[in-house]
Amino acid sequence: MKIGLLGFGVVGQGVYDLIASREDMSVVKVLCRKDVSLPGVQVTKDFNDILNDSDIDTVVEAIGGLHPAYEFVKAAIEAGKNVVTANKALVATFYDELIPLAKEKGLCFRCTAAVGGGIGWLSELERARRIQTIEKVGGIMNGTCNYILDSMTRLGFDYTNALKQAQELGYAEADPTTDVEGIDTWHKAILSSNVAFGICLDSATVPVAGISRIQATDVENFKAHGLVCKLISTGMFTKGKVSAYVQPTLVKFGEPESAVPANYNLITFVGSASGRMSFYGQGAGRYPTAYNVVQDCADVLLDKGFYSPCGEKVKAENTDFMRYYVRGEKDSWLEENTAETWGTAIISKPISVEAMHVWLKNHPEAFIAALAE
Ligand code: HSE
C-alpha cells in the first residue's frame, strides 16, 4: 500500500511513525504546510502532487476540520483512492455523500479513529450489527471533557485550570470550543448512531449541551448527592423511532461511567443478543489515535469497506422524559417544572429531552445536567 498522508500534526506524525517500521505499507508523500524533511518521502504543499500520483492507492486524511479536508477527500475518492480518516466532523457532516460515493467507486472508506481515538469502537460496531439489532449506543466520547470533569471532581480544580491542563496535554481540539460545547461528542454520536442503526441522522434534530458553564459549586452539589457529572451521548433505536442527544449527565458513584479517569472514554452499545458491551480506552492523543488509523490501513489491505450501509435520512425524536439539574435564571416554565431545590439550582420534574433543550437555547447562561435513572 502506498499512502499519501494529508497533514503532519499530532495525528499525522503519529501515523507516520507507526507506519515507518512496517513492510506492508509506506507513506510516500506528505502534504504539510511547514518545511519538514523526511527521509525517502516527498513533502509537498500542493495536494495535486498526491491526487495526480497514480502510485498512491490510499489517502490518509489527518488535517482535521471540514475544509479543505472535504474537498481533498472527495477528490481522492473520485480519483480512485481509498480513504482513511480520523475526522469525525468530516464524516458526520458529509456522511450521505462520501459513504455512497466510495461504495459506488468500489473503494474502501474507514474512520475508526474518528470515535474513541484508540478504541476499536466502530470496527466492533460493524461486527456487532451483523448479527443483531443495536438498540442503544453512546457514553463518554470526549477525552478533553472527561479530563476537565474528572479534575474538577477528584482534584477540586476549577474549570479554567482544568481546561488549560487538558490543552497542554494535547487532548483538546485546536479550538477547545468544539470539545467543551459538546460538538466533538455530537459528531461522534451522530456517526455512531448512523453506523449502529444503518441510517443517516438529520443532525439538526440532535440537540447538544456542553460543559463550559459548569462551576465548582455545581460539582460540590453533585458530590453531596453521591453523583458525578459526565458528558454523555445517547443514540437509541426503539420501535422504529430514533432518539439522539448529547448532554452533561449525573451518574451515581459506583456506576462504570463515574469511574472513568483523565482523557479516557467509555463507549457502550446494547444489542438484542449481546446485551450491554462497553469499550474503554484512550479517546485522544497521538499514538492511540494513530494506532486506529493504521489499523484501518491494514483493513484496507483486506479490502474492507465502510462499517454499514448508508441508510435513509432520519429525524431524531427526543420525546424521552427525564429529570434535570438546572442552574440558571428562573422563569415561569422552570418554576412550574421544579420538583426540588439544590442550593441555587433546581431539580426538575420529568420533562422531555426536546423541551429541556429548547428552554436551554433561550437561556444560554444556564447549566443543565440530566439525572441518569
Ligand atoms: N478532542 C478530542 C477529545 C480528540 O478530546 O476526545 C479525539 O477526538
Q: What CATH number corresponds to the domain at position 33?
A: 3.40.50.720
Q: Strand 275-282 and strand 351-352: pairing? A: unpaired
Q: Of ligand 1's atoms, which has the minimum distance to the CA of residue 166?
A: 5
**179 Cα nearest atom in ligand 1:** 1
Q: What residue's CA is closest to ligand 1, atom 7?
A: 284
For ligand 1, mutation pick of 121, 122, 142 (most atoms within 8 Å of CB): 142
Q: Which of 121, 179, 212, 233 to mutate to test the pocket of ligand 1 (most atoms within 8 A of CB)?
A: 179
pLDDT > 90? residue 172: no
User: So what's the pLDDT on residue 171?
Assistant: 80
Q: Are residues 219 and 248 in the same domain?
A: yes
Sheet containing strand 42-44, strands side by side: 42-44, 26-31, 2-6, 58-61, 82-85, 109-110
Give the Å distance between the CA of 112 and the centre of ligand 1: 13
User: Are both 65 and 183 inside the same structural domain?
Assistant: no
Say yes or no: CB of residue 183 within 6 Å of ligand 1: no
Q: What is the CATH number of the domain that holds 205?
A: 3.30.360.10
Among the residue ranges 49-53, 229-233, 279-283, the one predicted with the least confidence is 279-283
283 closest CA partner among 124, 180, 141, 182: 141
Q: Are residues 278 and 228 in the same domain?
A: yes
Kindly state whether residues 169 and 271 are assigned to the same domain. yes
96: in domain: yes
* Distance from C-alpha of 96 to C-alpha of 107, rounded to nearest angstrom: 15
Residue 304 lies in a domain: no
Domain count, the chain: 2
What is the torsional sign of CA 171, 173, 177, 179? negative
Last residue of a domain, one of 110, 145, 160: 110
Give the pLDDT score at 170.
81
pLDDT, tens digit, 9 for 90 and up, residues 56-92:
999 999 999 999 999 999 999 999 999 999 999 999 9
Same domain, residue pair 243 and 357: yes
Give the residue among 251, 261, 252, 307 at the shortest CA–CA distance from 281: 261
Beta carbons within 8 Å of 267's beta carbon, 6+ residues apart: 115, 116, 119, 121, 137, 138, 139, 140, 141, 192, 278, 279
Asked whether residue 221 falls in the same domain as residue 330, the answer is yes
All three cell numbers of 105: 467507486
16 and 150 inside one domain: no
- Mean pLDDT on 41-57: 98
Q: What is the mean pLDDT of residues 162-187?
A: 89
**How does pLDDT run across 198-211, given as a tens digit for each residue?**
999 999 999 999 99
179 lines ligand 1 (CB under 6 A): yes
- DSSP 3-state of 115: coil
Query: Is pLDDT above 80 for 287?
Result: yes
Range of the domain at 52: 2-110
Q: pLDDT, tens digit, for every residue of 84-133?
A: 999 999 999 999 999 999 999 999 999 999 999 999 999 999 999 999 99
Question: In terms of domains, do 89 and 202 share one?
Answer: no
For a ligand 1 pocket test, name from 11, 173, 186, 264 the mutation site with the most ligand atoms within 8 angstroms of its C-beta.
173
Whether 218 is in a domain gets the answer: yes
Residue 241 C-alpha to ligand 1 middle, in angstroms?
A: 29
- Residue 367 dihedral angles phi and psi, to the nearest 5°: -115, 130
Decide which of 110, 130, 160 is a domain's last residue.
Answer: 110
Ligand 1 centroid–CA 203 distance in Å is: 19
Residues marked as catalytic: 188
Helices and strands per DSSP (H, E), number in the chain? 14, 19
Write out pLDDT tens, residues 297-314. Answer: 999 999 999 999 999 999
Three-state SS for 320-332 is CEECEEEECCCCH
332 lies in a domain? Answer: yes
Residue 297 resides in a domain: no
The residue whose CB lies within 8 Å of the most ligand 1 atoms, and thus the one to mutate among 146, 184, 267, is 184
**Which pLDDT tens digit goes with each residue over 231-246?**
999 999 999 999 999 9
Residues 186 and 332 in one domain: yes
Does residue 117 have its Cβ closer than 6 Å to ligand 1? yes
Q: What is the mean pLDDT of residues 168-174?
A: 78
CB of residue 284 inside a 6 A radius of ligand 1: yes
| Same domain flag for 143 and 192 | yes
Span from the CA of 17 to the centroid of ligand 1 (angstroms): 20
Does residue 283 line the site of ligand 1, with CB under 6 A? Answer: yes
Residue 303 belongs to a domain: no
Regarding whether 320 and 262 lie in a shared domain, the answer is yes
Location of C-alpha cell 497542554:
168
Regarding the beta carbon of 82 and ligand 1, being less than 6 Å apart is answered no
Ligand 1 contact via 325 beta carbon (within 6 Å) = no
**Among candidate residues 68, 90, 110, the one where a domain is terminated:** 110
* Res. 174 pLDDT band, cuts 50 70 90: low
* 355 assigned to some structural domain: yes
Which H helix or E strand runs over 241?
Answer: strand 241-252
**C-alpha grid cell, residue 299:** 483493513
pLDDT mean over 326-346: 96
292 CA to middle of ligand 1, Å? 14
Residue nearest to atom 4 of ligand 1 (CA): 284
Same domain, 318 and 179: yes
Query: Per the domain annotation, does 288 fall within a domain?
Result: no
44-49 CB contacts, 8 Å cutoff, 24+ apart: 47/6, 47/72, 47/75
